[in-house]
Every structure is written in C-alpha cells, then in structure tokens.
Structure 1
C-alpha cells in the first residue's frame, strides 16, 4: 500500500512538472527548447548551435557564475560566429594558459541585468537611437536598431546582429548573435 501511494505521488509530481514545462513559453535555439524555468547553462548545453560557447564557458571556469542568480543578459555567439574568427583563435583561447584572456572575451558578452528586447529598445530610445552598455568584463558595447534588427558594435568596431532575441532564463535572458564581440 505504501509503495502504491509513493508511486502515485511520484506520478502526480512528474505530470505536474511536465505540464508546467509544457506551459512555459519556450524559444527554440539550436534545435532545443529553451525553458524560462532553467538557468543559462541548463539551457545552453542543449543547443547544438552553441557547443563552442559551452566548451569555452567550461574552459574559462564560468559555469558556476552563469548558473548563479544573476540576472545576466548574455549575447551568445553561435558556432558559426566562432568559425568567423581568424583560424586558430578558438583553439588558442581554449588553452589553459589563456584562461584569463578567454574569461575576458566571454564576460565581454555579458551585461548585468535582465535586458530583454523591450528594455534594450528603451535604452536605445533614451540614448537617441544608440545605447551604451557596460559589460561584466568592464568594456563597452553599443546597441541600435538597423531596420527591425538589433545590432551591436564592439570596442574594435566589429558588428554583430541579434538573430534570436528574448530567450528568457530563470537568471536572465539570452540574445543569440552572429559574430563574436571583441574588447580592446
């Protein structure tokens, strides 16, 4: 009788959890649903388009940070974005002796706070068409609208376009971008 009661409770809990996830407004990224109830890392590891980014976050020792409370706004370059870097750049950054440099590159893609597209649009309006963002790394990014696309400019003059916006997480928001941003 006790086993049956425990089984029934487990079954109900599983159904409730499944229903809650089914009711969440998910966004598909890299062939995987991104659940707002999961943190940045829990979602990112499921995206086949972000395997390079996930490997870099692990190599940089930033997993725990990005699983933290945040909130964080992450501009997440795809694998194709990393492939646009000069040959050998990713391999060099992933070497243990370059961990600090890798951390700098990755934290340059993170802004403190939960800046979804509405919040970014408001900052752009307040900045008369351009918003200046301070990254966790300490550098600056500039954001503006180009037609209906959100565009970012880094300190070296490189540009990235947001290809998927507002991927909500339990500890922030991800915006997928098509280029890797570089600081000075």
Structure 2
C-alpha cells in the first residue's frame, strides 16, 4: 500500500506533536523538501548524504514526496565507520538505497499517517521509493516506524511534499 491510497483523515485528532512549516522572510513555505533539510541545523548529515548521493535535484523536483528525515544524532548512532563508508564516492549506490528508504512518493501529513494506521487496525505498511517496506504504528501517542524509529516532529511542509523528523536511520533489508 502507498500513501496515495490515504483517505481523508482531517477529522483524526493529532496525537503527534507538529512543527509549523519553515517560512522564509515573506512568510511562504519552502519550495522543496531539500530546502527544509538544508535549512535545518539538526539535518546537516542528511544534507551531506543527499548531496553525496546525487539526490538533491530529484528531491527538488515536483514530487510529491514524504521524507522521513533522520537527525544528525540518528546518523551518529550508526555503528562506527558505517556513515563514513556510505559517503564514499564508490558507495553511492548503497547510499542511494539507504536514502531511498526514507522517501515515499506522495505527500502524507501526520493526520494522513495516523488515519492510515487507524484504518489498518493499528498498523499500516507503506513502500518507499527505495523499495523498502515501512511498518507504521502509533505507540504512546507517537508515530513509530518498524517499531524502533520515532517521528519526533511532523508536518514540515514544502511545496513539493513534507518532512517528518525521525530519531533513527532506516536501512534496507539485508
């Protein structure tokens, strides 16, 4: 199932804390999810990885995209040397696969995600552009991915999608 199959979930009460969209000096939302990432002090590693993987242009495109954006602390929690290894030019395909696990080809706000989980009886599965399957659930009022990664801030809206901040890095199945 993909986010494109969401029904209207506007009536779903958000049990997830939300963050207002980053605004420029004119008060408009960022044009792209890449602008949200590059404008965040907590996503410098993600910015570096997106650039190293050659995905900045793709994620600056029309979209729509839902990006689950790991924080710098999430990347720092990876096994020692794993990030440095993934960022090497000869490992660009591996890095693209890892980042592909964080992007869904549709725009899903927090209410949409919660609505999908509720429609699924407490769990929903989505497939990312990197062909990773993510299991979404709600535990203790927070959206969880694969029972291990928590959405810590949601609904950072852009013209081509939305970014949800997460506290872990999603890796392709071995």
Output the TM-score relative to the length of structure 1. 0.78
What residue ranges of structure 1 are gaps of 5+ in the alignment? 1-24, 29-33
Provide, for residues 146-176 of structure 1, a one-character-per-residue CA deviation record: whole Å limited to 9, x for no partner: 02111001xxxx7210000111111001000
Coordinate RMSD, CA, aligned = 1.6
In structure 1, C-alpha distance between the alignment counterparts of 2:131 and 2:119, rounded to whole Å: 21
Q: C-alpha separation between the residues in 2 aligned to 1:35 and 1:142?
A: 33
SS at match of 1:61: coil
Q: 1:93 aligns with which of 83, 86, 96?
A: 86
Counterpart secondary structure, 2:31: coil
Query: Radius of gyration: which is bigger?
Result: 1
Runs of 4+ residues deviating >3 angstroms:
25-28
Q: Give 5+ residue unaligned stretches, structure 2.
A: 1-18
CA spacing shift, 1:35–1:46, aligned 2, 3 Å: farther
Q: Secondary structure at the match of 1:166?
A: strand
2:110 is aligned to 117
Q: Please, which of 131, 145, 155 is the counterpart of residue 152 of structure 1?
A: 145
Answer whether contact 1:35 1:169 (CA < 8 A) is retained.
Answer: no
Query: Normalised by the size of structure 2, how large is the TM-score?
Result: 0.83
The answer on whether the counterparts of 1:93 and 1:102 sit within 8 Å (CA) in structure 2 is yes
Deviation string 1:49-96 (CA, Å, 9 cap, x unpaired) is: 100000000000000000000000000000000000000011000000
Distance 2:135 2:94 in 1: 22
Structure 1 residue 26, shift from structure 2 partner: 3.9
Aligned counterparts of 2:21 and 2:57: Cα–Cα separation in 1: 23
Instruction: Give the structure with the larger helix fraction.
Output: 1
